[in-house]
Amino acid sequence: LRTAAVVLAAGSGKRMESSTKKQYMLIAGKPVIYYSLKTFQESFVDEIVLVVSPGDAMYCKKEIVEKYGFSKVQHIVEGGKERYHSVAIGLDSISSCDFVFIHDGARPVVTEDILERALCCVREYEACVVGMPVKDTIKIADREGNIASTPERKLVWTIQTPQAFALPLIKGAYQNLLQKEKELLKAGISVTDDAMVIETLTGHPVRLVEGSYENIKITTPEDIQIAEHLLLHK
Ligand code: CTP
Ligand code: MG
């Protein structure tokens, strides 16, 4: 059984409003993406593809991959404009494996337990995403800013990464996505996660598996402090 990970770090971090891209901001002296790479390096995963912004590959190779001895990082590739472009490019450099874990490099608090749960789940269902049931009640708004409806809380989950898939299933879905990109854009569908690609382009069900409330994504400035606290007390 061979597994690979695609770790995404090719975003520009607009919502962080920082001069250093969020994936390279320091938490306890190490860049944000160090933490998830370390978790994958020490896990059952066999190979890692790191997807970075054009121009960042040399910095990542020298200052992160070589410096910290992440020997499982076998490719560092340049990502694309949207997250799904970066994923498609990452998937292209994976050769032969059974399952692939797609992970946001901006989620440093992922743990080996989460990876184990996702592995167990993907082996059974071929497609799964980690997430957590919401704690707050969620409302769906209308375009005017009024409440349109209230989904049943126990059926609402927030979605995290990793998202894990059988390789042929996810590769096929992404190829299909890129072929239909124009139509989807016209229909106003914006693809923000990998499960959506499976949902929209295949009939394959995607299983939800428990991540953790601590597996946050670094998005805005306060998230750096929260992640630092979580990582130091892990
Ligand atoms: N990502 C990527 N390629 C892109 C866009 C995003 O590899 N073209 C990665 C980011 O680096 C991040 C993950 O996908 O690890 C989740 O994306 P997000 O949190 O939205 O990061 P950014 O797009 O960088 O941030 P923002 O949306 O605020 O600009
Ligand atoms: Mg983004």
This complex has an ipTM of 0.99
Ligand 1 proximity of 54 Cβ (cutoff 6 Å):
no
Q: Are 200 and 189 in contact (CB under 8 A)?
A: yes
Ligand 1 proximity of 160 Cβ (cutoff 6 Å):
no
Asked whether the predicted pLDDT for residue 104 surpasses 90, the reply is: yes
Mean pLDDT of 203-221: 97
Instruction: Give residue-wise pLDDT tens across range 154-169.
Output: 999 999 999 999 999 9
Asked whether the predicted pLDDT for residue 174 surpasses 90, the reply is: yes
Q: Evaluate whether residue 135 is within a structural domain.
A: no
pLDDT at 151: 97
Binned at pLDDT 50, 70 and 90, residue 34 comes out as very high
Asked whether the predicted pLDDT for residue 217 surpasses 90, the reply is: yes
The percent of residues in the chain predicted with pLDDT above 70, rounded, is: 100
Q: Evaluate whether residue 125 is within a structural domain.
A: yes
Mean pLDDT of 162-183: 96
What end-to-end distance do the CA atoms of the chain give, in Å? 29
Closest residue by CA, ligand 1 atom 23 = 11
Q: Evaluate whether residue 29 is within a structural domain.
A: yes
The percent of residues in the chain predicted with pLDDT above 90, rounded, is: 96
Q: Evaluate whether residue 169 is within a structural domain.
A: yes
Ligand 1 proximity of 82 Cβ (cutoff 6 Å):
yes
Instruction: Give residue-wise pLDDT tens across range 45-84.
Output: 999 999 999 999 999 999 999 999 999 999 999 999 999 9
- For ligand 1, mutation pick of 104, 161, 174, 191 (most atoms within 8 Å of CB): 104
Q: Which residue has the higher pLDDT, 45 or 200?
A: 45
Q: Evaluate whether residue 124 is within a structural domain.
A: yes
**How far, in Å, from the CA of 23 to the mean position of ligand 2?**
12
Mean pLDDT of 199-215: 96
Mean pLDDT of 141-145: 97
Q: Evaluate whether residue 23 is within a structural domain.
A: yes
Binned at pLDDT 50, 70 and 90, residue 234 comes out as confident
Q: Evaluate whether residue 164 is within a structural domain.
A: yes
Question: Which numbered ligand comes closest to the C-alpha of 159?
Answer: 1
Number of domains in the chain: 1
Max CA pair span of the chain? 52
Ligand 1 proximity of 30 Cβ (cutoff 6 Å):
no
Binned at pLDDT 50, 70 and 90, residue 33 comes out as very high
pLDDT at 95: 81
Q: Which atom of ligand 1 is nearest to the CA of 217?
A: 19
* Average pLDDT score over the chain: 97
Q: Evaluate whether residue 143 is within a structural domain.
A: no
Mean pLDDT of 114-122: 98
Tell me which residue range forms the domain holding 8.
3-129+160-232
User: Residue 172 is part of a domain; what is its CATH number?
Assistant: 3.90.550.10
Q: Which atom of ligand 1 is nearest to the CA of 51?
A: 7
